[in-house]
């Protein structure tokens, strides 16, 4: 093989390798690997029952959901989020959920998980079915979610407190 052809091959291979390393480092996990935030990672976390406490500490409660787009639902908070619910089980008015807060709305009728995860001061929004199929990806523009969740009375964009 001619010398310059070898060089082209080597440089080309290095470029592909670099690109694939960069890509694979970008795809799944945030700056803190404990805080994975892609749709599948969120779904896995949402299924980890031990990490959650149900709203008002009532695991059997199913709420009607007549004000939201999903229908009847259950509502649970991870430990970080639940610890912030110091106003009779709600987030005090004017306060923010801390980073790492994870709020999951479960829809028993179709196995959907609607999820909000607080990372670096803002919510990541995602909707995934329990079989892993994605209804609304965390990578999509969340304004569909936030435009409704910023309705009057919301507390840090959480709206269940208005109704339940």
Burial 32-54 (b: 16+ CB within 10 A, else e): eeebebbbebbbebbeeeeebbb
Among 91, 103, 107, 112, binds ligand HEC (CB under 6 A): 103
From the list 25-33, 39-47, 82-90, 155-163, the region that binds ligand HEC by CB under 6 A is 155-163
d(CA 139, CA 28): 11
- Contact between 107 and ligand HEC per CB under 6 A: no
* Residue 67: CB minimum distance to ligand HEC, A: 4
Q: Based on the number of CB atoms within 10 Å of its own CB, is 150 exposed (0-12), middle (13-18) or buried (19 or more)?
A: exposed
Among 81, 84, 115, 128, binds ligand HEC (CB under 6 A): 115
d(CA 71, CA 54): 18
Provide CB contacts within 8 A for 131, sequence distance 6+: 111
From the list 8-16, 17-25, 37-45, 64-72, the region that binds ligand HEC by CB under 6 A is 64-72
Among 12, 59, 69, 98, binds ligand HEC (CB under 6 A): 69
Q: Which residues bind ligand HEC (CB under 6 A)?
A: 65, 67-70, 73, 75, 103, 105, 114-116, 125-127, 136, 144-145, 148-149, 158-160, 163
């Amino acid at each position: 093989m001619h010398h310059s052809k070898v060089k082209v091959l080597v440089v080309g291979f290095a470029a592909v390798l670099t690109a694939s390393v960069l890509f694979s480092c970008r795809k799944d996990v945030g700056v803190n690997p404990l805080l994975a935030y892609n749709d599948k990672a969120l779904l896995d976390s949402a299924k980890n029952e031990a990490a959650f406490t149900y709203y008002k500490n009532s695991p059997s409660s199913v709420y009607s959901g007549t004000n939201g787009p999903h229908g009847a639902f259950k509502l649970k908070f991870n430990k970080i989020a639940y610890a912030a619910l110091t106003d009779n089980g709600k987030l005090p008015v004017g306060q923010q959920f801390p980073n790492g807060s994870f709020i999951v709305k479960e829809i028993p009728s179709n196995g959907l998980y609607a999820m909000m995860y607080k990372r670096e001061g803002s919510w990541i929004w995602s909707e995934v079915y329990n079989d892993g199929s994605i209804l609304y990806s965390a990578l999509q523009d969340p304004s569909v979610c936030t435009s409704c969740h910023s309705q009057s009375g919301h507390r840090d964009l959480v709206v269940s407190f208005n109704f339940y």
